[in-house]
Amino acid sequence: MDATTLGTLLVGVGAVVGAVVTYLGKRGETALTAYSSLTTDLQEERDRLDRKVTELNTKLAEQAALRAADQAEIARLRAQIPPGGIP
């Protein structure tokens, strides 16, 4: 095997190795982009759900306040009923 054939063979192997490295690098880049996109989507969903939970907690606190007021009104009205139940 002379130097020209060996050189040609090495160039061919180098080209194949370069193509494989490029292919794997592109796959890694695509995977990283997909991972970043997924992470962004999950963060947006988490933020949306956090806002929803906060909104529901606010509504729950309002309902608890209304219930407490109703309970106080019921207690006040019961206090007005004399023993024996005849007003």
Q: Which of 63, 66, 65 is nearest to 55 (CA)?
A: 63
The answer to whether 51 and 44 are in contact (CB under 8 A) is: no
pLDDT over 90 at 63, yes or no: yes
pTM given for the model: 0.54
Residue carrying structure tokens 């206090």: 79
The answer to whether 14 and 7 are in contact (CB under 8 A) is: no
Instruction: Return the higher-pLDDT residue of 28 and 2.
Output: 2
What mean pLDDT comes out for the span 8-19? 75
The answer to whether 81 and 87 are in contact (CB under 8 A) is: yes
